[in-house]
Structure 1
Amino acid sequence: MQDQGMGSWPGRRARMTPHRVALIQDGAETTYLTLHRRATRLAHGLRRHGIGRGDRVGYLGSNSVAFVETMFALAALGAVTVPLNTRLAPAETAFILADCGARLLIHDRGFESVAGSPEVRELRIETVAVAPESSGVTLETLRDNGSEEPIDEIITLDELFMIQYTSGTTGRPKGVLLTHGNITWNVYNLLVDLDLRNTEIALVTAPLFHTAALNQVLLPVLLKGGTALIEARWDPDRALHLIETYGVTMLFGVTSMYLGLSRAAAFGTADLRTLRTALSGGAPIPVSLLETYRDRGLTVIQGYGLTEASPGVTMLRATDPGSGAGKLGSAGTPCFFTDVALAPTDASGDVGEVLVQGPNVSPGYWNRPAAHTDGWLHTGDVARRDEDGYLYIVDRLKDMYISGGENVYPAEVEQALYAHDAVAECAVIGVPDPVWGEVGRAVVTPKPGAAPTESDLLTFLTTRIARYKIPKSVVFVTDLPHNAAGKLAKARIRTEYGDAAGDHR
């Protein structure tokens, strides 16, 4: 029996296309053969350091070739990668490391203060620095001490590959268990959905510690034999430069990233002709922003997913006849190996909670109950399905509020607000009200040079959504807070702007 796990991927690709470039970062190229050799040596070095099957290893760092090598090395050993959100406070990082029982913490340069914080030191977990100039054991010394002999572990698809912790917006983060099989089936789904080629050049700028950039872009591209252009952080101006310089063919972003790109000075004149695939996820993109990209000849392919599904659930495919203007804003239909059902959330039956089933669905959470019941993953997301079977994500169940007995889904109100020419970004939350129980409040970032008033926006909504859905107040802000994945930080917005009596205008 041969190893079927994720750790075998670099070797399998190296025997097919050894000299093709797999990774580029800051101009430095890594071929598939080099990636395979480095990951193999690192696996041997980690094994000699005491890391073996089932051990959890935390990785704290920005997007890098080192992270990719480490992930494949650990996978080859049957160890488990735990990517850590680089924006967490030391106490939050320590909680995750303690929760998963990490044996080792690998950290890149710039994160020494977190790795060496009292909260992390208290756990007595050994730390290894990526940077070769660091004192003590480093990732480079572990790799240098390893051999290029094949790793003799046989990994099955049912074994644990990674634990990805959710953002924890409703409390302590939960560790989502992702097996080698979960990720493999997710990649199969994406290869069915997209015309991915072995000449693909994908720009990877969203953080790899989140599921979308890793499992929807990097891993499918590497399986296919393309090239991943890795950037440590998102910079819209640099992204346009890289698209033109390298002839980037594939891009992933969330709403805030596509919004920032559209605002870049060179957006209107940049040569985007090589871009064949622009993926989005995390939250619905406003139709007005989708139309901005269509004006530049680019259709942003929207999908819906979540970490517990590795993450792909549905996609509005570029080749789908339904991806025309009539379905703009839809999350599409289920991926090939994935099934979706809707559980009604109100008496009308018009909308329902999204339930997911398939081989890409996580078996559960680390040290917590399973991720699904009755064979279905209950996502907590609400959607409606049209007569053609296309899903439209309405909102999170937890973001819904009830006003005068009526369910109000903020995402629907936000979409209506985005149609106003002066609105750059917005978030709608429910705030307490003595008469209606809760009413809406819109928190709005105006476009540069625009100065809308509360009356302007609320009057604009009167012909677009039902009266009970129209917010009762508007707060104007310079910037809205986002989490590390680029999604609006709704919990923080509710904390800052969700009081009933405060006047934020």
Structure 2
Amino acid sequence: MRNQGLGAWVHRRRVKSRGDVAVVFEGREITYDQLSVRIDRLANALADRGVVKGSRVAYLGNNHPAFLETFFACGVLGAVFVPLNTRLAPPEIEYAIEDAVVDTFVTDVRMRDLARAGAWQSRIRVRLLVGGDAYEGVESYDEAIAAASEEHRDEFVSLDDPAMILYTSGTTGRPKGAVLTHGNFTWNSFNALVDYDITSDSVTLLIAPLFHVASLGMGAVPAMLKGARVILRDKFEPGAVLRDIEELGVTALSGVPTTFQMLAEHPDWGTADLSSLRMLTCGGSSVPLRVLDAFEDRGLSFTSGYGMTETSPGATSLNPRSARTHHGSSGLAMFFTDVRVVDDAGKPVPAGTVGEIVIKGPNVIKEYWRRPEATAESRFGEWHRSGDLGFLDEDGYLYVSGRAKDMIISGGENIYPAEVEQIIMEIPDVDAVALIGKPDDKWGEVPLAVLVTKSGEPLPDGRVQAHLINRVAKYKVPRETVYIDEMPRNAAGKIRKVDLVRDLIEQPGGDSRPS
């Protein structure tokens, strides 16, 4: 085949996995051969409407088979897939559409209002609506597929060709479009297959949004490369997840610490049949010890790791055997990837020394879309600068200290929030914590702890400080604790500290409860 990229994968699976279920959504099973036909029909429908190699095709919607169909159909044509975060505001949608120069837009009917407000009436030339009827200027997605040829196109697509533009969360400044190639996805999948227990009989439950690279790159894509079964859910509800595990024989589940904490705290946790589970993968931050305990009591263990959009996303992985011995670590570099920690000049630092984490490998992006200056700033030679701080131990295990921009400098001493947050999370009633810097006339900054408690009530005065004394240096202990009802999070479930700084430091007031 001339297509060396992702567009050939499901077509090849059509032969090797005929009759096997590829995707399950809302009780509907789609086999690999059925999915392949739909992808080919969609590719032809897009081609009939002027989509060619290099064209950008945007998708706005939550988890749905149409997301994967559009992603792989773009791969068939060599077009570039642009998934949009459904939590964005209309101006942010419009920015991404204009920046990527998108002219074809596929959206779920449930996102129609957001699409209209953000980009439906902008430069878009072709509009396809999933799950809805056609109307003026908008075509039905399913009708377009039904009317198209099912002939498979074999366009020349190389591993170096762009497969997707994924916009970073934009916690500071305008989002950048990370250009992920077919090779980036391919090598990331190889990393996942080597480091994780993914087999052809795996049943992967995806509850995180596919527009987040972890769900797509570490979940759906490597699973489908192996011919495994992917179950899509468009939202996370702990009780539903426990039922899915029990009724659908789920073998693999990924999430952030909050995901697993909510599962362990659900009333059905103790009685749910979890015997099918083989692999639990936690990203975002380390698994709190009490969550680790809860799952190990059920005979389950975790893999975890570290990565980012720019690494497609895997950079390191921690296997279950090391979950206790290297608790707090993000693990070793993935098989086809290299990880270093360097100083401000890009030179490697000794083991145990905090510096910037840099990554190299065929899963790392080569550029940001139309941003050569940002691409240049993100490089130390061949190494991609993560913007994250951390250190490697003597055995090569990575420990992430936090984002460089989140580091607190108090009296000339560096405070890495992740270290302190992990210890505060040991307090039983703490549901979530974030450490941010508060301006101080004497010290420049002092740490401020922002907490969400399970009970909804503040901890006793001094409880946080007492828990930290003799565990960390005195300057790392927060002078003040603020309680809020809910942490602001991005689509990946990570806490948006920029929002906390804005609401509690730059514009104090509102519903926070200081202690």
SS at match of 2:471: coil
- Supply the distance in 1 between the matched residues of 2:133 and 2:185 (Cα, whole angstroms): 34
What residue is the counterpart of 1:249 in the other structure? 251
Describe how 1:272-283 pairs up with structure 2 within 5 A: 272-283=274-285
What residue is the counterpart of 1:365 in the other structure? 368
Query: Structure 2-normalised TM-score?
Result: 0.94
* Aligned-residue offset at 1:247: 1.1
- Supply the distance in 2 between the matched residues of 1:500 and 1:32 (Cα, whole angstroms): 52
* Aligned-residue offset at 1:125: 4.5
2:478 to 471, 487, 492: 471
1:452 to 459, 467, 474: 459
SS at match of 1:326: coil
The reply to whether residue 91 of structure 1 matches residue 91 of structure 2 is yes
SS at match of 1:244: helix
| TM-aligned CA distance change 1:451 to 1:438, over 3 Å | closer
Question: How big is each residue's C-alpha offset from its partner over 1:428-453, in whole Å with a ceiling of 9 and x where there is no partner?
Answer: 10010011000011111112376512
- Supply the distance in 1 between the matched residues of 2:154 and 2:171 (Cα, whole angstroms): 41
The reply to whether residue 328 of structure 1 matches residue 331 of structure 2 is no
Which deviates the most, 390-399 or 129-138? 129-138
> Match for 1:445: what amino acid?
V
The reply to whether residue 399 of structure 1 matches residue 398 of structure 2 is no
- Supply the distance in 1 between the matched residues of 2:267 and 2:344 (Cα, whole angstroms): 44
- Supply the distance in 1 between the matched residues of 2:125 and 2:380 (Cα, whole angstroms): 35
* Aligned-residue offset at 1:498: 2.2
Question: How big is each residue's C-alpha offset from its partner over 1:196-218, in whole Å with a ceiling of 9 and x where there is no partner?
Answer: 11110000110000100001011
- Supply the distance in 2 between the matched residues of 1:85 and 1:487 (Cα, whole angstroms): 14
- Supply the distance in 1 between the matched residues of 2:503 and 2:88 (Cα, whole angstroms): 19
Question: Is the contact made by 1:401 and 1:408 (CA closer than 8 Å) also made in structure 2?
Answer: yes
- Supply the distance in 1 between the matched residues of 2:123 and 2:439 (Cα, whole angstroms): 41
> Match for 2:179: what amino acid?
L
SS at match of 1:289: helix
- Supply the distance in 2 between the matched residues of 1:268 and 1:396 (Cα, whole angstroms): 37
| TM-aligned CA distance change 1:119 to 1:78, over 3 Å | closer
The reply to whether residue 181 of structure 1 matches residue 188 of structure 2 is no
> Match for 2:331: what amino acid?
G
* Aligned-residue offset at 1:266: 1.0
What residue is the counterpart of 1:292 in the other structure? 294
Question: Is the contact made by 2:102 and 2:124 (CA closer than 8 Å) also made in structure 1?
Answer: no
What residue is the counterpart of 2:355 in the other structure? 352
Which deviates the most, 128-137 or 103-112? 128-137
> Match for 1:86: what amino acid?
T
What residue is the counterpart of 1:307 in the other structure? 309
Which deviates the most, 19-28 or 232-241? 232-241
| TM-aligned CA distance change 1:398 to 1:300, over 3 Å | same
Which deviates the most, 255-264 or 225-234? 255-264
1:226 to 225, 228, 235: 228
What residue is the counterpart of 1:15 in the other structure? 15
SS at match of 2:139: coil
Which deviates the most, 130-139 or 206-215? 130-139
* Aligned-residue offset at 1:373: 3.3
Question: How big is each residue's C-alpha offset from its partner over 1:178-224, in whole Å with a ceiling of 9 and x where there is no partner?
Answer: 00000000000111101211110000110000100001011111111
* Aligned-residue offset at 1:362: 0.3
- Supply the distance in 2 between the matched residues of 1:178 and 1:449 (Cα, whole angstroms): 42
- Supply the distance in 1 between the matched residues of 2:119 and 2:201 (Cα, whole angstroms): 45
Question: Is the contact made by 1:251 and 1:277 (CA closer than 8 Å) also made in structure 2?
Answer: yes
SS at match of 2:325: helix
- Supply the distance in 1 between the matched residues of 2:291 and 2:500 (Cα, whole angstroms): 22
Q: Which runs of 5+ in 2 are unaligned?
A: none
| Aligned sequence identity (%) | 42
Which deviates the most, 225-234 or 261-270? 261-270
Q: Which runs of 5+ in 1 are unaligned?
A: none
What residue is the counterpart of 2:337 in the other structure? 338
Question: Is the contact made by 2:435 and 2:448 (CA closer than 8 Å) also made in structure 1?
Answer: yes
* Aligned-residue offset at 1:295: 2.3
The reply to whether residue 129 of structure 1 matches residue 129 of structure 2 is yes
Question: Is the contact made by 2:57 and 2:82 (CA closer than 8 Å) also made in structure 1?
Answer: yes
| TM-aligned CA distance change 1:124 to 1:179, over 3 Å | closer
SS at match of 1:366: coil
2:501 to 485, 494, 502: 494
What residue is the counterpart of 2:42 in the other structure? 42
Question: Is the contact made by 2:286 and 2:327 (CA closer than 8 Å) also made in structure 1?
Answer: no
Question: Is the contact made by 2:281 and 2:304 (CA closer than 8 Å) also made in structure 1?
Answer: yes
Question: Is the contact made by 1:115 and 1:127 (CA closer than 8 Å) also made in structure 2?
Answer: no
The reply to whether residue 415 of structure 1 matches residue 422 of structure 2 is yes
Question: How big is each residue's C-alpha offset from its partner over 1:296-349, in whole Å with a ceiling of 9 and x where there is no partner?
Answer: 22212110001100010000123xx5x152112211100111011111369997
| TM-aligned CA distance change 1:504 to 1:120, over 3 Å | farther
Question: How big is each residue's C-alpha offset from its partner over 1:101-126, in whole Å with a ceiling of 9 and x where there is no partner?
Answer: 00111110111112212765244544
SS at match of 1:110: helix
| TM-aligned CA distance change 1:173 to 1:427, over 3 Å | same
- Supply the distance in 2 between the matched residues of 1:451 and 1:193 (Cα, whole angstroms): 41
Which deviates the most, 276-285 or 234-243? 276-285
> Match for 1:352: what amino acid?
G
Aligned length: 502
